[in-house]
Amino acid sequence: MSVEITEIETHLACCTAEILAFPQACLRRECRRANRCLHVDVDTGAPACLINFGPEYPESFTLIYLIALAARADLGRQGMMFASPSAIERELQDACVEVARNALQEEDAKRWMAAYRARENLPPPSRP
């Protein structure tokens, strides 16, 4: 993937790793047992389980992290609902919106949750 993460936000990165079930393969026992990212790299802020993948983040992690970052910042603003009519794209967007919801910051909660509820009322995606 040509897009790279230059600076990582720890809480959002942990939520992204959790939706991809990375804690289940983490080298740290506490993370596996809790099925949550409990340890992060102090230098990068990335979840410790990403060390299993070497210096490059997996493409799935990068994609979901970046879309979730955008969804958390822009959901409900200027009509941005992250609700594609394509079933495949919509499934990815649904996962990203859930990651964003789990990593929501308090100052955006009221606006964001109103947009989240409005998004639930949108028509379902078309099936191929």
pLDDT tens readout for residues 16-69: 999 999 999 999 999 999 999 999 988 888 999 988 887 778 889 999 999 999
82-121: per-residue pLDDT in tens?
A: 888 888 999 999 999 999 999 988 877 888 888 888 888 8
As a whole number of Å, the end-to-end CA separation of the chain is 26
Domain spans of the chain, in order of start: 10-120
Question: At CA 27, angle to CA 22 and CA 10, rounded to 5?
Answer: 55
Q: 87-102 and 59-74 helices cross at what angle (nearest 10)?
A: 70
Q: What percent of the chain has pLDDT over 70?
A: 96
3-26: per-residue pLDDT in tens?
A: 667 789 999 999 999 999 999 999
